[in-house]
Chains A and B, each alone.
Chain A
Amino acid sequence: MNGLTSGFGAWNPIAWALLFVGILVVSFIVRSRGNKSYKRGSGQTKVFLSGNEEPADADALHVRGDHLYWGMVDGLSAYYRRVKAWHTGIFSDYVAWFVGVLAVVFVILVWVG
């Protein structure tokens, strides 16, 4: 099989396709050996939460990545409240901020410099 050899290795579509099919077959074999005896619709298919009942509001248990920074965000909450209000998501607002800050910098440079 002819393939393209580059500085990063060999690229042969057929070889990679065969490898992909091989991985799929192995995955299917592993999956087919799983336990099929669980009862659908019973507690065996429910989420395990250390024995606790799953709350109706599943988001209450969702631990997001930014929860790691909870202490910092909570400590600076007064600052964040103000800054978040400025983040409107509207491009023209951001351009206005850019022009405004640029004007202030220009004025400082002209007067002070």
Chain B
Amino acid sequence: MGQRIDRDLRRFRQIVRGVVKKELRKYMKSGELLGRRGRNVVSIPIRQIEIPTFRHETRKMGGVGQGDGAEGQPIGVGEGNQPGVAGNAPGQHALEVDVSFEELAAIMAEELELPNIHPRAREVIEADAGRYSTISNTGPESLRHFRRTFREALKRQIASGSYNYRQPVIIPIKEDRRYRARRTIRRPETNAVILYIMDVSGSMGDEQKDIVRNESFWINTWLKSQYKGLETRYVIHDAQAREVDEDTFFHTRESGGTRISSAYQLAAKMLAEQFAPEEWNIYIFHFSDGDNWGGGDTQQCFNLMEEFLLPSVNLFCYGQVASPYGSGAFITDLASHFDGHDNLVLSEINSKDEIYDSIRAFLGKGR
């Protein structure tokens, strides 16, 4: 019986996976999954796998209820919550399927053909890779340690004086039982940090921020599947840069000008102080409309990148988001200055349709 349902469950998951994969481009464009994040899962509404039947238009149908209330008073009956007078199956629920982030990342990898990342740095952190090499007072009966249990029982009986050496009967009670248990050992694990930098100057509007938010969701999902410990940090800048939390990051709007070097300076400082390149896999994603202040600021950015940022990071991604005021020159400057640099990825995102390709460009390097 177990196998039977497992098979059907597996098949169901497979179908869900197929649908999500097919719809991935749409999800990336619309960003509808962002609002459906749980701790470990995303609940994805899936209408496509519902089996259609001829049915009534529920909104026109109404029904009978029971309880107090005057005519015209609203009642809390949502769609699909028609009273259960007809039908014998509990089949009338909205189709929402929980997909874990790992699974989502796997689907992404398949659809975008993402290569796995070869980690660069190593640091020792704790990981649960146990062996059954210790003893515990609790555990499943299948792991009961017979000899230890016997010994405990013997000790207890001798101590309490109920041991009779003429008739050495040992009867273990619950407290005597000992079980084999796992021991957690420490093992090197890779660690990663993502540093998001965003231009919040006046020219970056809500639509641009939506694009960034959307991209960051997919980037996080992917990198989370590749590293055990993933930290994310956020930096916003206009003419000055500061580190903020996620919420502020997406909701701040300043009116000032743009000095990109301020953000790179802060990034370099953060890396130097908190994330040593030999211990961390570092990812920098910078989003801006590319309209940098003149007066040699761009040159200053190049210097910072050359001297410090590019040698320290796995990947430096610059996404230029087109704003209503047009797209700046920063991306072309970068392209001409750093031609053929291995860990620098540039991508122009002119509309939500291009999110898909930009994510693919960013993560397709396998670094």
Genuine A/B complex: no
